[in-house]
Amino acid sequence: MNHAARDLLQLYENTLSARGIRRIHAPDLGSTDTQRLGNMRFLIDKHLHPDNDVMKALVQDDVYMARFCGLVQGVLYCEGFYSLGSVEDQAKVLRTRTAFTPKTGGPVPTPTAEDPAVGASPVKSPLVIS
């Protein structure tokens, strides 16, 4: 797995952990929001720590990992964990394959309680595609 994808997945793992979301395997659509986010955390963990040959092969595929990171970004954006600008900055990391933040040039930070994205309230709004 390339370092940028690993860093982003670790950021998302830390973000969900900071909000108290536990890893659970609850893939059905009847699950609660917390269960669905717990399932997302479970899937992130499966990608960070692949436990079989199929997953080990998948995480080496940059296109697959970019798509998986995009899925996670979309979920976390829709659930109000990140602003659109933050998601765009995170996408730049994957495009450049370098773990950096556009503002500092340093590594992707671990979210803290002071980070507005960590304490943000979920915002549900229709998606506008232009």
pLDDT digits (tens, 9 = 90+) for 103-126: 444 455 555 555 544 444 344 434
| Structural domain includes residue 78 | yes
Q: What is the pLDDT of residue 105?
A: 45
56-91 residues labelled b (16+ CB within 10 A) or e (exposed): eebbeeeeebbebbeebbeebbebebbeeebbebbe
Torsions phi, psi for 104 (to 5 deg):
-115, -20
| Structural domain includes residue 82 | yes
Instruction: State mean pLDDT over 7-11.
Output: 92
| Structural domain includes residue 33 | yes
Whole domain around residue 32: which residue ranges?
3-96
| Structural domain includes residue 130 | no
| Structural domain includes residue 41 | yes
| Structural domain includes residue 50 | yes
Average pLDDT, the chain: 77
| Structural domain includes residue 105 | no
Q: What is the pLDDT of residue 25?
A: 87
Residue 81 to residue 8: CA distance in whole angstroms? 14
Query: How many folded domains does the chain comprise?
Result: 1
Of the listed ranges 8-17, 71-80, 115-124, the one predicted with least confidence: 115-124
Is the separation of the CB atoms in 90 and 82 below 8 Å? Answer: yes
Is the separation of the CB atoms in 99 and 7 below 8 Å? Answer: yes
| 22-33: pLDDT as tens digits | 998 877 766 788
Placement of tokens 């893939």 in the chain: 27
